[in-house]
């Protein structure tokens, strides 16, 4: 939901959020850690959002410090 909220200003926020979430999930799974920390998830989401939409990255970062 936080990814969706961060990109709510886009024309297709549902499909964009779905694709971005899949990208983040893939990135996290490829790191092959035994456990994921919340900080790992926030970092991965922020990296993906920065490449996709800088305004969304700023929005996300403001709520997930």
pLDDT digits (tens, 9 = 90+) for 10-29: 999 999 999 999 999 999 88
> Inter-axis angle of helices 54-63 and 38-52, to 10 degrees?
160
Q: In the chain, what are the domain boundaries?
A: 2-63
Contact between 63 and 2 (Cβ < 8 Å): yes
pTM as predicted = 0.82
User: At 30, is the pLDDT very low, low, confident or very high (cuts 50, 70, 90)?
Assistant: confident
């Amino acid at each position: 939901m936080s990814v969706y909220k961060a990109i709510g200003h886009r024309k297709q926020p549902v499909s964009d959020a779905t694709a971005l979430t899949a990208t983040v999930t893939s990135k996290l799974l490829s790191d092959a850690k035994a456990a994921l920390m919340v900080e790992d998830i926030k970092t991965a989401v922020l990296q993906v959002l920065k490449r996709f939409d800088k305004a969304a990255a700023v929005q996300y970062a403001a709520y997930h410090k």
